[in-house]
Chains A and B, each alone.
Chain A
Amino acid sequence: MSKSKDIPGTTSYILFIVTAVICVVFAITAFYFVFPNRETWMVGLPQASSYAGDIDGLFGLITYLVGFWFVVSEVVFFYFIFRYRKKTPDQKAEYVTGEEHHQKQWITIPHILVIICDVALIFGTVYVWYKVKQDLPPAQATIRVTGQQWAWTFQHPGPDGQLDKGDDDIYLVDELHLKVDTVYHFKLESTDVLHSFSIPAFRIKQDSVPGRTITGWFEPTLVGEYDIQCAEMCGIGHGLMKGRVYVHAENEYSQWLKGENLSGATAAETSAVALGQVALERTSP
């Protein structure tokens, strides 16, 4: 190798600056145009909470940035495989050490461009995480979610709208009723092992830990009914620990509330269920 090639020339600096600028522009456009796009990517799932769109937007941002590098890498990879296949028996390969500066640039430049994309991505993910998990908007209603082997118990506020006040709270097993466009706080507890409270349509997931009360929030925005799954292995009945969330419009919700109050499921009744009998009955056909 001649000595002159070891010294980075002006061309390589220009090349680097141009590609870096393109990459920064690419990352910024992704951040401003792809990230705010709230269309869902999650096949077949509605966006039923206020932050479902944020998480889906972040998914789009990552797909855009990472997808670009993925496609570039695979295309170059397969092109090289095709281009440099052995065509004649005496074909000789080139001798490239990769130790010289102008050669290393083929690694270091893409690597710095990857960092630029990573930074754009970190902004997005910090924003979404802060909004969903760190920030707690004031509650309009509060529910208590208790995981046990192998059922969910949901404690809804009664007609007074207050949890743990009076004895009008409504306890239901595997059934959660919510009013649309209401900011809910949930108090997540567990009586035995770890569970994970997951409503895919809301994009919410939080493990419940015995001995702790974990507070989180969501705001249902779409009337309908959706699945609740347990997302943390919790024993034999883990796969059967399914619930259903019903998001009601305002008037429907008050009707449901009235009906529940008349039928009067009491805490004592549900605690018998809480021993897991429901889940066990469900396992035996």
Chain B
Amino acid sequence: MTQKKKTGTRKAPAGHTSHHEESFWSKYVFSTNHFVIALQYTITGVFMALIGGYMAYVFRMQLAFPGEAVPGFGIVGPGEYNNMVTNHGTIMIFWVAMPVLIAGFGNFCIPLMIGADDMVFPRLNRLSYQIFLLSCVVIIASQFVPGGGFGGAWTAYPPLSSEAGYSLTKWGQTLWLLGVALEFVAFLMGGINFITTTMNARVKGMKMYDIPIVVWFIVIASILFMLSVGPLIAGAVMLLLDQFHVTGFYNPALGGEPLLWQHLFWFFGHPEVYVVLLPAIGVCADIIPVFARKKLFAYKIVLWTAIATGALSFVVWAHHQFVAGIDPRMAHIFTVTTLLISIPIAEMVFVYIATLYGGSIEFKTPMLWALAFIAEFLIGGCTGIYLGSTGTDIYFHDTYFVVAHFHFTFVPISIIAVFAGITYWFPKASGRMLNETLGKIHFWGTVIPFTFMFLAMFPLGMAGQHRRTSDYTIFPELAGWQDWRVIITYCLLIMIAFQFVFFWNVIWSLKSGKKAEKNPWRANTLEWLVPNVPPHGNFTDGFPEVYRGPYEYSTPGRKEDYWPQNVPD
């Protein structure tokens, strides 16, 4: 291998100095290459999304046509319904948003964008995916044990989750808990890797303010995750012990306190929202300047708002518990902190809007997804105010208003931003361009039904429809809304149908798509320097040197409208 222009104190990992021929197993299955691990995480995440989507299909069909057999499932009893709702939430957050956004994009972007040949701990990275895969097996297995999967909601409040006599899912609840805990272990390892790599393995010349926003945001998200997950792991161990009647941490009959779990869970659970939000919003921050040919507006403000959001996210958790039985005086503190967090988030949205000002916007598929993220996330953000405000939360807590609100945040995060990232980096990862027409059909076919589906849930919530009930027709006040539920279900079916366009697009493009250039979007960041389908070691032609920040588009006095980070002048 030619001598690289590499500087810094880091030595290349031993495995990377010589490139011997590798077998299929060591190349694709047990590889320590960050790119292969990124693909594994992303593909596993998409696979889990299919399972989560199938669950949504099952319970939406039950809601629209209560009591009728659902094609591909059968009759949905109340137990199955709870199981579907619970595992849909759990899988979509922990097995879709987390692996794709943090682990998938993190493993792909971080080494390529900071100019490293791999993660600093490649074997830890390998182990992280291996444990993640095990956690997937465990959560899927929880569906097939006696009693069925856990049905106590994704928040798993005890005593329901700690006592098999109450939940009637003795094995399901334990496997659910173990699956979640294993998944956290996997992401802790990944997070350590992301933080260390970004801090220590940047190429020569890349200063802190030259790091692309998406890398920064994945690092901040990893820090948030590491700081918040500890209490939850402790809580999970206590819950596990409670499940086997060893202890009674959450059992009031033994002097325990059920609310303790809620505090531990939400102390993690709220930062978790930002753990998945930040990478998503970072992906958009990197895509919007490229297709608007504009410098990102106020890089430093973006970065510091993210840090402020992260810090604030640790003191808002009890807004999930306003009516849970906490001291009512405490609620005032948490409503103020919750409304405070709207300020950095609003500022971030203003920054993205300001970035568009004076641009030359090209509506390629990744840009459409990124713009849709901003438009839809605004709805989610604004409706959050109703829930963060104690007075209205008394009424809206656990209604469909909440469901609509967080799907307007989580779908933009884990569906829209993920598609933005996949369509943007697909040429680099595969060497082929995706088909633009199919991409746009898929985009509109996803975004329009999604918007109508969840907009329709706001009035349902306002009419007093609570979550996690398998049949609303038994409630006289809610029976009249059945048409709305049917429409929502049809929207979901349309949205699911259009996902096949995406899969067809990927398969077709991989086979016969247009060959991609090295830098098809004319972007500035370093990942576009490496050959398409990044080889082991990434920068095989020598390491670049960085001279400026990643968002120098349309700089005055230059012929080209972009200025890659590694080009001296």
Indicate which residue in A111, A132, A200, A240 contacts B350 across the interface (CB closer than 8 Å): A111
Do A114 and B335 form a contact, CB below 8 Å, given A45-B463, A98-B298? no
Distance, CA A57 to CA B559, complexed state (A) = 58
Distance, CA A194 to CA B161, complexed state (A) = 10
Whether the pair A107, B301 counts as a contact (CB closer than 8 A) is yes
Whether the pair B78, A283 counts as a contact (CB closer than 8 A) is yes
Chain A residue nearest in CB terms to B255: A211
Contacts of B160 in A (CB 8 A): 193-194, 233-235
Interface residue tally of chain B, by bracket? 35 or more
Whether the pair B159, A194 counts as a contact (CB closer than 8 A) is yes
Contacts of B463 in A (CB 8 A): 42-45, 200
How far in angstroms is the closest Cβ of chain A from B476? 6
How far in angstroms is the closest Cβ of chain B from A175? 14
Do A237 and B78 form a contact, CB below 8 Å, given A129-B332, A198-B466, A209-B259? yes
Indicate which residue in B81, B350, B374, B556 contacts A106 across the interface (CB closer than 8 Å): B350
How far in angstroms is the closest Cβ of chain A from B549? 10
Chain B residue nearest in CB terms to A54: B391
Contacts of A93 in B (CB 8 A): 292-294, 358-360, 553-554, 561
Q: Say if the beta carbon of A55 comes within 8 Å of chain B.
A: yes
Q: Say if the beta carbon of B55 comes within 8 Å of chain A.
A: no
Contacts of A41 in B (CB 8 A): 462
Chain A positions 230 through 253: 1 when the CB is less than 8 Å from some CB of chain B, otherwise 0: 111111111110100000000000
Distance, CA A166 to CA B152, complexed state (A) = 39
Whether the pair B395, A203 counts as a contact (CB closer than 8 A) is yes
Whether the pair B336, A122 counts as a contact (CB closer than 8 A) is yes
How far in angstroms is the closest Cβ of chain A from B359? 4
Indicate which residue in B168, B464, B471 contacts A235 across the interface (CB closer than 8 Å): B168
Q: Say if the beta carbon of B131 comes within 8 Å of chain A.
A: no
Whether the pair B464, A106 counts as a contact (CB closer than 8 A) is no
Contacts of B329 in A (CB 8 A): 134
How far in angstroms is the closest Cβ of chain B from A237? 6
Do A209 and B382 form a contact, CB below 8 Å, given A55-B394, A98-B298, A125-B335? no
Contacts of B459 in A (CB 8 A): 43
Do A209 and B152 form a contact, CB below 8 Å, given A44-B477, A106-B354, A128-B391? no
Chain B positions 58 through 80: 1 when the CB is less than 8 Å from some CB of chain A, otherwise 0: 00000000000000000000110
Distance, CA A80 to CA B397, complexed state (A) = 36
Whether the pair A97, B392 counts as a contact (CB closer than 8 A) is no
Whether the pair A239, B359 counts as a contact (CB closer than 8 A) is no
Q: Say if the beta carbon of A32 comes within 8 Å of chain B.
A: no
Chain A positions 214 through 239: 1 when the CB is less than 8 Å from some CB of chain B, otherwise 0: 10000000000011011111111111
Whether the pair B391, A95 counts as a contact (CB closer than 8 A) is no
Contacts of B362 in A (CB 8 A): 86
Q: Say if the beta carbon of A178 comes within 8 Å of chain B.
A: no
Q: Residues of B at under 8 Å CB distance from A? A: 78-79, 81-82, 151-153, 155, 157-160, 163, 166-168, 252-253, 257-259, 292-301, 323-325, 328-329, 331-332, 335-336, 339-340, 342-343, 346-347, 349-351, 353-363, 371, 374-375, 378-379, 382, 385-386, 389-392, 394-395, 397-399, 459, 462-464, 466-471, 474-478, 480, 553-556, 561
20 residue pairs of the A-B complex, CB under 8 angstroms, read A42-B462, A44-B463, A45-B477, A66-B385, A77-B356, A78-B375, A81-B356, A84-B357, A85-B363, A93-B360, A94-B357, A96-B354, A125-B390, A125-B392, A133-B331, A134-B329, A198-B466, A206-B325, A229-B469, A236-B151
